Amino acid sequence: MRRTKPTDPTWSDVLQQRREASGRMHRRAMLAGAGAMAAGLGLARPAPLMARSLPNGARPSAFSTSEDPNSWEEITTYNNFYEFGLDKSDPARNAHRMTIDPWAVVIDGLVDRPGTYDLADILHGQQLEERIYRFRCVEGWSRIVPWIGFELAGLLNRIGVQPSARYVAFETLLRPEEMPGVNRRVIDWPYREGLRLDEAMHPLTIMATGILDQDLPNQNGAPLRLVVPWKYGFKSIKSIVRITLTEDQPHATWEATQPREYGFYANVNPDVDHPRWSQATERRIGDGLFARRRPTLMFNGYGEEVADLYAGMDLRRHF
260 and 268 Cβ atoms separated by less than 8 Å: no
192 and 170 Cβ atoms separated by less than 8 Å: yes
Residue with the bigger pLDDT between 30 and 285: it is 285
Residue 243 has pLDDT above 80, yes or no: yes
Residue with the bigger pLDDT between 279 and 24: it is 279
User: Does residue 318 lie within any of the structural domains?
Assistant: no
User: Does residue 315 lie within any of the structural domains?
Assistant: no
Please, how many CA atoms are within 13 Å of residue 226, restricted to the half-sphere of its CB?
32
pLDDT band (50, 70, 90) for residue 229: very high
User: Does residue 317 lie within any of the structural domains?
Assistant: no
Residue 204 has pLDDT above 80, yes or no: yes
User: Does residue 24 lie within any of the structural domains?
Assistant: yes
Which residues have a Cβ under 8 Å from the Cβ of 121 and sit 6 or more positions away?
none
User: Does residue 175 lie within any of the structural domains?
Assistant: yes
| Pure H helices in the chain | 11-37, 47-51, 72-76, 90-94, 119-123, 152-159, 197-200, 253-257, 303-306
The range of the structural domain enclosing residue 231 comes to 5-310
- Residue 80: alpha-carbon gap to chain centroid: 14
pLDDT band (50, 70, 90) for residue 53: confident
Separation CA 282–CA 269 (nearest Å): 12
Q: Determine which of 12-26, 159-173, 251-265 has the lowest per-residue pLDDT on average.
A: 12-26
Residue range 195-212: mean pLDDT, rounded: 98
Residue with the bigger pLDDT between 48 and 174: it is 174
Residue range 241-252: mean pLDDT, rounded: 98
Q: Determine which of 6-15, 201-210, 245-254 has the lowest per-residue pLDDT on average.
A: 6-15
Separation CA 117–CA 129 (nearest Å): 21
The model's pTM: 0.85
Overall number of domains in the chain = 1
142 and 65 Cβ atoms separated by less than 8 Å: no
On the question of a cis peptide bond just before residue 190, with omega within 30 degrees of 0, the verdict is: yes
pLDDT band (50, 70, 90) for residue 57: confident
Q: What is the CATH number of the domain that holds 177?
A: 3.90.420.10
On the question of a cis peptide bond just before residue 223, with omega within 30 degrees of 0, the verdict is: yes
Query: By three-state DSSP, how is residue 87 classified?
Result: coil
Separation CA 139–CA 289 (nearest Å): 16
User: Does residue 319 lie within any of the structural domains?
Assistant: no
User: Does residue 316 lie within any of the structural domains?
Assistant: no
Separation CA 219–CA 227 (nearest Å): 15
Separation CA 130–CA 107 (nearest Å): 25
Nearest to 216 by CA among 79, 113, 48, 49: 79
Residue 5 has pLDDT above 70, yes or no: no
On the question of a cis peptide bond just before residue 102, with omega within 30 degrees of 0, the verdict is: yes
Read off the pLDDT of residues 67-120 as tens digits, 9 standing for 90 and up: 999 999 999 999 999 999 999 999 999 999 999 999 999 999 999 999 999 999
**What was the pLDDT predicted at 56?**
79
